Each structure stands twice: as structure tokens, then as C-alpha cells.
Amino acid sequence: MAKLIKKRSKKAGLPPGTLIHVGERKAEKAKITIVDYDDTHFLGKEVKTIEECFPFNDKNKLTVAWINIDGIHQIEVLEKIGNCFGIHPLIMEDILNTDQRPKMEDFGEYIYIVLKMFYYNNKTNEIVAEQVSLVLGSNFLISFQEKEGDIFNPVRERIRGNKSRIKKMGADYLAYSLLDAIVDNYFIVLEILAERIELLEEELVDHPAPKILRILYKLKGDMVLLRRSIWPLREVISELERGESPLIKDSSTIYLKDVYDHTIQAIDTLETFRDMVSGMLEIYLSSINNRLNAVMKVLTMIATVFMPLTFIAGIYGMNFKYMPELEWRWGYPSILLVMVAVGVSMLIYFKKKKWL
């Protein structure tokens, strides 16, 4: 499971705007790709230096530029692009801090959006979280990812297409497309979780083993991580949809509303899963208690049956000289029959009382 809280101690005491990467380093080297397009033009390439991105900061150009940076641990790269595009140092600080809560901030000339992207690692059965930051300008969009991924590849393919709607729209529609791709990927993770919960539920009913408790607690941790990331995203999309920023055109508002609806659906699904996991935890604890009660019931029955038998055996085990029964020829088998009769009588009584 991904860490819920990341270490911030190395930033303690530093002035605001100090650029320090907080989080796990997930890429060896920053990879920078540029996609520049309009309805008749397309340019896609990977650049070696951040300086090659500077010409795309032209407010008068008619094309849309999408600059994607995979790997945010190289502070000098982010510092240069922040200076070129006029990004506030506090925003650059937030981009480097990978423990951000999803939020949106409007700075007039650009909008800053940060949210979480999730993958499911089938090898370790863990949810992997990654922070994605977007800086939306009038004719450019800069995206910052912790590592290289393939969630945005369908968006790139749509831009390459000649008849794609995205090529006729502006940078705000590109931002919507990236948000939509991230939210759609939430449902892939939720579907995998649904399958795990269903299998675990069947195993819980058939064989409530201690290992299930560990899996349930791990699932609860995953739910906490998802909830922390998806719930605030609803506010982010709502602000973008109802905001008055000129960077968000009316033509893109209806698409943002669709993303908002998908976010609500993801939240409802997540809340259902949380209730199911909590219910399964209660079922597990109840089944363990029931099994313990059944075992204690059997042991109590055995102890109760043997109490009078032990009493009888104790009396005749005292070996006093003047005990008439010790001299009887049939004393030993008679006492055994009495003990058997007492035990059987008690079992019949328990059965009539429905204690067995």
C-alpha cells in the first residue's frame, strides 16, 4: 500500500518557495515531450534539454502546446521551465511536493491543478499512487508526472488523428481530456478492487482464516488512500466547471460536467466498497467469536458431564477401610454402570434443552 503521509522534515525551517523534492524518486532522468497542434498541424517530439520548450511560450501563436515532463526530481529542470512560463515559486514548490491534496488555483494568466493518478500493481497486489500537476495557460498546457506512464497515450493518439475534436479545441479541452483519462483510470482500479472484494467475501464465508484479517486491513488502507484523493477532486472539477476564468471556455464546460459526474460515480462506488469491507470485517470477527463460542460450548459440555463422574470416582478413590461397596463382588462394574448412566442422562437432558 502507498504511504499515506510522506516525510516533510527536510523542508522544516526553509523559506516559502524553496524547491525541494518531497517523495519517492520514481524516474532515473526527466523525460520531456512536446506536442504542438491545431486542426491542420501536428508536431510531436521528445527533447533533450528544457530550453527547447521555451519557444512555445508565445502568447501570440495560434497552436496549442502540450509540454509533458516525466520525472520531477530534477529541480533545475522545473526551475527553468517555471521561470520561462512565469509560474509562481509556491506553485513550483507544490509540484515538487508529491503529498499534495487535490486542488485548483487560478492565477489569472494560468490555472494550477494537482490530483492523484492510480495504477494497480498485479505483482504485489498494491495500489500505486502518482501525483500529476497541470499548469493551464491560454495556449499551452504543462503536465508534470512522477514517472513515465501510458494513461495519456490515448490522448496523444487522438491528437494525431486528423478528424479528432481535440485538435479543433483549445488548451482547456486538452486539460479536460487529461482529467477525463485520469478519472476513467479510477474505474479500472475500482473494478480490480471489486473483484478482490468478491473473492474475499466468498473465502470469508467458507474459510474465515487469520490471513483474511490482514487482507481486510490492507483493503481498508487502500480505501483511505483512494478516498483522500477522489473526494477533493470533486471540488476541483466543480470549481473548474463553475469558475469565471477566461481560460475555461463555455464549450469545455459541458465536458467538465461529464468528468464531475464520473467523479461522483467513483465516490459512490468507493463508499460502497468501504461499507462492504467494514461489513466483512464485522462478519469475520463475528464468525471467529461464533467459532470460539462453539468450542467453549463443547468444552463446557464435556466438563459438565465429567463433573459428577469425577465426583463418584473421587469418592471411591479415597480407599477407606470401612466402605461397604469396596467388598462387593460386583461393586466395580456397578459403579461403572452408574457413571455411564449419569453421563447418558445428562446428554439426553442437554439435547432436550437444545443445548447441544
74 and 221 fall within a common domain: yes
Predicted pLDDT of residue 9: 53
Q: Decide the pairing of beta strands 42-47 and 140-145.
A: unpaired
21-54 residue pLDDT tens: 676 766 678 889 999 998 888 898 988 888 888 8
Average pLDDT, stretch 303-318? Answer: 82
313-347 residue pLDDT tens: 887 777 766 677 767 777 778 878 888 888 888 88
Residue 16: pLDDT band (50, 70, 90) is: low
Predicted pLDDT of residue 318: 73
Q: Which of 256, 286, 316 is a domain's end point? A: 286
Domain hosting 102: range is 9-286
279 and 305 fall within a common domain: no
**In-domain check, residue 319:** yes
175 and 86 fall within a common domain: yes
Highest mean pLDDT among 17-21, 138-142, 338-342: 138-142
Distance CA 281, CA 302 (A): 32
76-122 residue pLDDT tens: 888 899 999 989 989 998 898 888 899 999 998 999 999 999 988 88
**In-domain check, residue 3:** no
pLDDT of 14 strictly over 70: no
Q: How many domains in the chain?
A: 2
